[in-house]
């Protein structure tokens, strides 16, 4: 039986108040986050992490001074190992966090020590962006080459409309709707806000497919829910800095619902685990905003975490990736982005292959 190392990629988070500033430095020193010369980026990362550390410590103070992301990712890893074992695979799930421990190099070291026959790279970002999945996968390539890890490697690039993910999100959302409806009789029908982490507009304009993937996920969830006349809106949270970001913003949509006296069900559509953006930003900060703006009822739907359908979907992705031809593999085994998204990882892989052959990508 082949030994399979499945590497789960996520952002990571500080494990103590003292770790907040170095975590932020690692984040802003990533060329996928701040483009430009390495020295300029290093200086900016030092400055931004120094300025933002006090605010971030206050945020993590609501969570006991540390991020819960690693613990929850470990739970997903164990659940996925169990699902793969039940499907007849000898698999070990490893965790590679991009900006805090366990870092990618640690996951590479663990994978090499286990000596797998195959490696499957599985970002816990259903919707692809170069700032998340792309950055994590690039870092894996660098560290794997340094360590001399030569096992056959397969890559899952995106799974925005994978059936297990959509089933889990639809069930969570329907549960939130039922909770609101039971306590808002006589009020306007609730609105569902599908909230995703935002991106600067210039990133999307440069060809990043993330926004289109988020919209595809929402469309699939709404179809799976099959609620006639559902009132819903895609929106984006976590805006920082002076750049223009994709919208509409979650804050603006909460204010709009308040003006209309409309109850809200808020669904974190791009996060698969709980962390500061859900437990603090959505629950506390936006919950307070909703109360201030007169939203009569505010319910935040839990992330999919270890939902059986989601974990089953991940197991299917692992199996599908191992049957792929070595190129990055979506849940459809082909490129799912429209042609205009030039930063699609699947397309980038084809370009690299063509360049190595001296040809084109047609």
Q: Name the average pLDDT for the chain.
A: 92
Q: Is residue 218 part of a domain?
A: yes
Residue 83 lies in a domain: yes
Judgement on whether residues 12 and 104 belong to the same structural domain of the protein: yes
Assess whether 224 and 156 both reside in one domain. Answer: no
Q: Please give the backbone phi and psi of residue 132, each rounded to the nearest 5 degrees, phi first.
A: -120, -85
Could you count the other beta carbons within 10 Å of the beta carbon of residue 271?
A: 24
Cβ atoms within 10 Å, residue 113: 8
Count of CB atoms situated within 10 Å of the CB of 71? 12
The per-residue pLDDT for 348 is: 57
Same domain, residue pair 152 and 167? no
277 in a labelled binding site: yes
Domain-ending residue, one of 300, 320, 344: 300
Residue 269 lies in a domain: yes
Range from 172-176, 232-236, 337-341 carrying the lowest mean pLDDT: 337-341
Per-residue tokens: 109:
């070291």
Terminus-to-terminus CA distance in the chain, angstroms? 38
Residues 11 and 152 in one domain: yes
Residues 236 and 134 in one domain: no
Q: Which of 300, 318, 338 is the last residue of a domain?
A: 300
Q: Is the pLDDT of residue 120 over 80?
A: yes
User: Angle at the Cα of 48 (from 247 to 290), degrees rounded to 5?
Assistant: 40
Residue 119 domain boundaries: 3-160+308-357
Predicted pLDDT of residue 349: 52
Please count the other Cβ atoms lying within 10 Å of the Cβ belonging to residue 115.
10
Q: Is 102 helix (H, G, I), strand (E, B) or coil?
A: coil
Q: How far is CA 16 from CA 6, 13, 34, 72, 105, in A?
A: 27, 9, 25, 16, 21
For 136-168, the pLDDT digits (tens) are 999 999 999 999 999 999 999 999 999 999 999
Q: Residue 185: count other Cβ atoms within 10 Å of its Cβ.
A: 6
Q: Are residues 245 and 130 part of one domain?
A: no
Indicate whether 108 and 251 sit together in one domain.
no
Q: Is the pLDDT of residue 350 over 60?
A: no
| Res 362 pLDDT > 70 | no
- Provide the pLDDT for residue 347: 62
Kindly state whether residue 210 falls inside one of the protein's structural domains: yes
What CATH number should be reported for the domain holding residue 178? 3.40.50.1400
In a domain, 98, yes or no: yes
| pLDDT for residue 353 | 43
**According to the annotation, is 331 in a ligand binding site?**
no
- Tell me which of 300, 326, 345 is where a domain ends: 300
Q: Is residue 326 in a domain? A: yes
27 with 150, same domain: the answer is yes
pLDDT, one tens digit per residue, over 208-239 is: 999 999 999 999 999 999 999 999 999 999 98
When divided into structural domains, the chain yields a total of 2
The most confident of 305-319, 321-335, 341-355, by mean pLDDT = 305-319
- Looking from the CA of 158 toward its CB, the CA atoms found within 13 Å total 27
The reported pLDDT for the residue numbered 340 is 77
Q: Using H for helix, E for strand and C for coil, what is the string for 148-216? A: CCCCEEEEEEECCCCHHHHHHHHHHHHHHHHHHHHHCCCCCCCEEEEEEECCEHHHHHCCCCHHHHHHH
Specify whether 277 is located in the same domain as 174.
yes
What's the mean pLDDT in 321-333? 82
In a domain, 362, yes or no: no
Residues 14 and 107 in one domain: yes
Domain identity same for 98 and 70:
yes
User: pLDDT tens digit string along 282-293?
Assistant: 999 999 999 999
Residue 90's SS3 state is strand
Task: Report the C-alpha gap between 31 and 28 in whole angstroms.
Answer: 8
Indicate whether 296 belongs to any domain.
Answer: yes
Unique residue bearing structure tokens 């797998």: 116
For residues 114 and 237, membership in a common domain is answered with: no
Q: Which pLDDT value is given to residue 358?
A: 46
Other C-beta atoms lying within 10 Å of the C-beta of residue 230 = 15
């Amino acid at each position: 039986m082949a030994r399979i190392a499945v590497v789960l990629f996520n952002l990571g988070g500080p494990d103590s108040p003292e770790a907040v500033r170095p975590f932020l430095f690692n984040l802003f020193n990533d060329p996928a986050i701040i483009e430009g010369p390495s020295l300029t980026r290093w200086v900016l990362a030092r400055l931004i992490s120094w300025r933002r550390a006090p605010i971030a410590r206050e945020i993590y103070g609501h969570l006991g001074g540390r991020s819960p992301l690693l613990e929850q990712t470990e739970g997903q890893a164990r659940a996925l190992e169990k699902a793969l074992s039940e499907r007849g695979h000898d698999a070990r799930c490893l965790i590679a966090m991009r900006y805090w421990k366990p870092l990618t190099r640690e996951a590479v070291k663990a994978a090499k020590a286990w000596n797998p026959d195959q490696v499957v790279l599985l970002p816990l970002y259903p919707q692809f962006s170069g700032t998340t999945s792309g950055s994590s996968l690039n870092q894996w390539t660098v560290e794997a080459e340094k360590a001399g890890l030569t096992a056959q490697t397969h890559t899952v690039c995106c799974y925005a409309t994978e059936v297990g993910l959509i089933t889990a999100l639809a069930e969570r959302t329907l549960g939130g709707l039922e909770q609101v409806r039971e306590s808002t009789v006589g009020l306007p029908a609730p609105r569902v806000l599908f909230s995703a982490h935002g991106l600067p507009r210039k990133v999307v304009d440069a060809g990043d497919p993330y926004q289109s993937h988020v919209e595809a996920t929402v469309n699939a969830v709404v179809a799976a829910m099959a609620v006639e006349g559902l009132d819903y809106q895609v929106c984006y949270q976590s805006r920082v800095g002076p750049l223009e970001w994709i919208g509409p913003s979650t804050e603006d949509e909460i204010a709009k619902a308040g003006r209309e006296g409309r109850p809200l069900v808020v669904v974190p559509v791009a996060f698969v685990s709980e962390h500061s953006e859900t437990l603090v930003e959505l629950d506390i900060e936006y919950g307070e905003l909703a109360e201030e703006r007169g939203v009569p009822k505010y319910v935040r739907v839990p992330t999919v975490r270890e939902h059986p359908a989601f974990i089953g979907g991940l197991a299917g992705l692992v199996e599908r990736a191992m049957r792929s031809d070595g190129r990055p593999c979506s849940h459809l085994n082909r490129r799912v982005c429209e042609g205009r998204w030039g930063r699609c990882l699947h397309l980038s892989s084809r370009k690299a292959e063509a360049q190595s052959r001296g040809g084109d990508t047609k």
